[in-house]
A and B are shown apart, each in its own frame.
Chain A
Amino acid sequence: MREKLVVIGNGMAPGRALERLLEAAPERYDITIFNAEPRVNYDRIMLSPLLSGEKTFEQIVIHGDGWYVKHGVTLYKGHKIRAIDRAAKTVTSAAGITAPYDKLIIATGSLPIVIPVPGSTLAGVLTYRDLDDVQAMLIAAKSRGSAVVIGGGLLGLEAAAGLKEQGMDVTIVHLMPTLMEKQLDATAGHLLQRAVEARGIKILTKANTEAIWGQSKVEGVLLADGTELPADIVVMAVGIRPNATLAKDAGLIVKRGIVVGPGMQTSDPSIFAVGECAEAQGECFGLVAPLYEMATVLAARLAGDANAQFTPSATATKLKVTGINLFSAGDFAEGKDREEIVLRDASRGIYKRLVIKDDKLAGAVFYGDTADSAWFFDLLKRGADISKMRETLIFGPSYAGGAALDPMAAVAALPDDAEICGCNGVCKGKIVTAISIQGLKSLDDVRAHTKASASCGSCTGLVEQLMKATLGDAYNPAAVQPMCPCTALGHDDVRRLIIAKELKTIPDLMQALEWRTSCGCAKCRPALNYYLVATWPGEYQDDSQSRYINERVHANIQKDGTYSVVPRMWGGMTSANELRAIADVVDKFKIPAVKVTGGQRVDLLGVKKEDLPAVWADLNKAGMVSGAAYAKGLRTVKTCVGTDWCRFGTQDSTGLGIKIERFMWGSWTPAKVKMAVSGCPRNCAEATCKDVGVICVDSGYDIHFAGAAGLDIKGTEVLGHVDTEPEAIEVIAALVQLYREQGRYLERIYKWAKRAGIDTIRKQIMDDLDRRRALYDRFVYSQKFSQTDPWAERVQGKEAHEFAPIADLTLREAAE
């Protein structure tokens, strides 16, 4: 007498389990399947190719009707099980059929999560789970209208690509900052976003769905920021949850899913669970590989192997969108005990990252080239020791275990007609000949004579190796100091490449310039942020997390973690009203110290971080704005009282100082900029040790620059003489703009001037009037985007998270 095996559900996991069981013990069970879907077992993974039209339903069927007949399996299509009676050992379907079992498999799968926003039940709001969903989408797509896909994970992206393929206008709305954040690191996420956008799919990240609107059917989606997206259909692809209701009603132990032991047995020894509805070792699974492993274990158990055990192992993800190659596996988070190997080939759009732990591969992310992913995944799953092939590991199996190729030998082995510089079409022979015949000794010489590596610069390394191979020890490269250990490039190269390659975000830059770390360090990130701000005014979105704390919270951190606040006093002038407001703030917030600074300002020291916005609000009310005493930017313009009061004054030095400060405040510069205007050569404002200084004389204004009175003490250099105030302002703005464009991050003006040459700078500003005007115009343009008082913005609530703790447990603990 055969045992009776009943299966609830006919998805991929029970399908695989039955296949294996019938191989191992074909005669042991009488098998009955109840399938809530009115059809045979099909490959759910292939729903995306079905949606995009690349496959038909017949092509994705796993077990056709014939399979069930051949194996004597009874399949009830469209029969949903209503209840399990564990005492009587029977199941009953909604259609009224009752079947007895000796062993029962629950494989009810999972249910798509529907975000319970208003309108989520409107007609036209779909999920992406089964054939019915795909058919509904295909019908909707015939209208060629717009679709909004909520969720930028694997399923959401596949749904979006399929709908786009069907001719719809598609927008993806994703809550997180990058796509597929569970499977991909931020870099790969950005690359993916660009590739998806290149297909004409719009993507909104950090977008929170507030509501879905429509009369009888869906008409659009409203986001939390007020954006309205018209839509003929909305697809929710935000995740799945195990469908364990039936098991729970039957009294089985259910947590997130139906709890199973290593043999897939539930809390009732006659009942097993498999697939997405099961929870093994506290984990639920949604990818096919572990589900198939569960199925194999279940089949072995049912066939009599009491030792078969399910142990979750690493899983791999591939995106099934034609033309986008993406693979991720294992655990790719960073950690102290982990090392990473990153390969970026910007021009070919390739990004590969391996995470190594204890000489074993712990995780891998590939974008662009996934040809070798199977080989890497095998290494990862086997836990193979990779220490012997580590040097060439990232290049894949073709190099595995082989000797690392000496880059010099590789260059030497190239034929003479091998192209070295793609931009300028320069081959190896031409460079070698130029070096030998013209006696070139430096990279700059080679660039000047052959144009090799003179454009985008990505072949610089190759050219240098060629020089070394040709000149031998005679080649001694002028050491370029790299920005930081994250890159081999120096500051100037990075600035040049930002413009040449039109790099406009930090992730893009790190990808294009082949950064060695995934998100930089505390040295390069603030520098890159400044370079992008200075290069792309109005376009670049400032990254506050890449700014030093002082610039992030617009106050200066002190040794005890409190802050100092310096309101702006234009040209060092103040009033009774301002002083009274300052005094009131000091009293109100119990500010412990008040000090007059060297730049003619008042410094309020010891302000608690939480108090900053309230302090600013009061100062704003009295008309004061941020003094930027924390900024790598214009700090102060110090003045003397000039012709207003002084018997020696030759010009209105106070007035000019105020005009300069009002014109230039808010601008970001490589390092801080302090200025001064003195009304006569007695120089009471000490203008001749400032970054930029003006000495007024009877005939006009002497403009000075490149002074220092800090770590180094240095008198200024004379830039030139001008006759009028407007000219003085134009010269100063042009000078500062030149510094903004050429200075290295944290390099003060006097250091930049020494490097660039005082004469060179003077010629560009004082002699070349077209250039001066162009620099001035660029400064004016960039100021359009920089003159918003950061204090007022934060009083209004911007970046509020900076100023309040996320939680205060002291009250709660006191209560206990």
Chain B
Amino acid sequence: MTKQNQVWVDVGALAGIPVRGARVVKTTSGCVAVFRTSENEVHALEDRCPHKGGPLSQGIVHGTSVTCPLHNWVISLTTGEAQGADKGAVKTIPVRIESGRLLIDPTVLKARDAA
């Protein structure tokens, strides 16, 4: 995906996500989990654990990882990859903060559908 065809969509205020928490963005290609770390960084992942599809948005956020609520897989917020002995990954979705607003590029999810 190149920069030119990125589509940034405003999905709300950063303040809408609790620190060390997450919120969900619904899209026609599935849910996106937008995380906010203790350092006030944001990351967005497909809201489906690579293990059994658990909603990562409901997990406990620590450092730059989230622990899935279903079976405690730990997923990196930066790479989407499972940590430790577990293998698997979810898509990361581009996200940025502009003047306190959250912008995501949901087309990445569609790209997967098309593929």
Contact = CB atoms under 8 A, between A and B. Distances in A.
B28 A813 contact: yes
Contact of B62 (A337, A517, A805, A813): A517
B50 to A, nearest CB: 15
Contacts of A181: 40
A87 B17 CA distance: 51
Nearest to A558: B70
B18 A810 contact: no
Interface residues of A, number: 40
A805 B23 contact: yes
B45 to A, nearest CB: 13
B12 A807 contact: yes
Contacts of B31: 805
Given A545-B20, A801-B17, A809 B25 contact: yes
A814 B76 contact: no
5 contacts: A185-B38, A186-B39, A522-B62, A801-B18, A813-B28
A334 B26 contact: no
B25 A805 contact: yes
A519 B20 contact: yes
A343 to B, nearest CB: 18
Interface centre among A185, A333, A557, A805 (most CB of B within 10 A): A805
B69 A806 contact: no
A588 B17 CA distance: 30
A472 interface: no
B6 interface: no
Nearest to B83: A336
Nearest to A182: B40
A805 B24 contact: yes
A477 interface: no
Contacts of B65: 521
B62 A807 contact: no
B39 A334 contact: yes
Contacts of A177: 19
A806 B24 contact: yes
A337 B39 CA distance: 16
B97 to A, nearest CB: 12
A709 interface: no
A522 B38 contact: no
Q: List the 10 shortest-distance A-B pairs measured between CB atoms, nearest first.
A: A522-B67, A806-B23, A807-B11, A522-B60, A545-B20, A549-B58, A805-B24, A561-B55, A806-B12, A519-B38
A68 interface: no
Contacts of A561: 53-55, 58
Interface in B42-92: 52-55, 58-65, 67, 69-70, 72, 74, 76, 78-79, 81
Given A519-B20, A548-B60, A557-B69, A806 B38 contact: no
A807 B25 contact: yes
A710 to B, nearest CB: 18
A546 interface: yes
A557 B58 contact: yes
A185 B39 contact: yes
A526 B67 CA distance: 12
Interface string A528-568: 00000000000000001110111001000101110000000
A185 B27 CA distance: 33
A624 B112 CA distance: 45
A520 interface: yes
B17 A333 contact: no
Contacts of B37: 333-334
B113 to A, nearest CB: 12
B78 A518 contact: no
A808 interface: yes
A335 interface: yes
A419 B70 CA distance: 50
Contacts of A334: 37, 39, 41, 63-64
Given A522-B62, A545-B20, 20 more contacts: A176-B40, A185-B39, A336-B64, A521-B65, A521-B67, A544-B18, A546-B60, A549-B59, A557-B69, A560-B53, A561-B54, A561-B55, A805-B24, A805-B26, A806-B11, A806-B24, A807-B9, A807-B12, A810-B26, A810-B28
Nearest to A520: B62
Contacts of B53: 560-561
A525 interface: yes
Interface of A: 176-177, 181, 185-186, 332-337, 517-522, 525-526, 544-546, 548-550, 553, 557, 559-561, 801, 805-810, 812-814
Contacts of B19: 177, 186, 545
Given A177-B19, A559-B52, A805-B24, A525 B69 contact: no
Contacts of A813: 27-28
Contact of A809 (B16, B28, B39): B28
A34 B61 CA distance: 53
Contacts of A557: 55, 58, 69-70
A512 B39 CA distance: 20
A333 B69 contact: no
Contact of B9 (A525, A548, A809): A809
B10 to A, nearest CB: 8
Nearest to A813: B28
Contacts of B21: 545, 801
Given A334-B64, A806-B23, A548 B69 contact: yes
Contacts of B11: 806-807, 809
Contact of B41 (A333, A336, A807, A809): A333
A336 B78 contact: yes
Nearest to A175: B15
Nearest to B25: A807
Nearest to B63: A334
A808 B28 CA distance: 9
A806 B39 contact: no
A806 B16 contact: yes
A800 to B, nearest CB: 10
Contacts of A808: 25-26
A525 B55 contact: no
Contacts of B61: 545
Given A336-B78, A336-B79, A806-B11, A801 B23 contact: yes
B40 to A, nearest CB: 6
Nearest to A544: B18
A801 B20 CA distance: 13
Nearest to B38: A519
Contacts of A544: 18
B28 A559 contact: no
Interface string B81-109: 10000000000000000000010001000
A181 B64 CA distance: 17
Nearest to A807: B11
B69 A518 contact: no
A561 B17 CA distance: 20
Contacts of A809: 9, 11, 25-28, 106
B60 A335 contact: no
Contacts of A519: 20, 38, 62-63
B88 to A, nearest CB: 15
A544 B23 CA distance: 14
A333 B39 contact: yes
Nearest to A805: B24
Contacts of B18: 544-545, 801
A560 B48 CA distance: 10
A317 to B, nearest CB: 15
B24 A526 contact: no
Contacts of A814: 28
A545 B11 CA distance: 22
A509 to B, nearest CB: 15
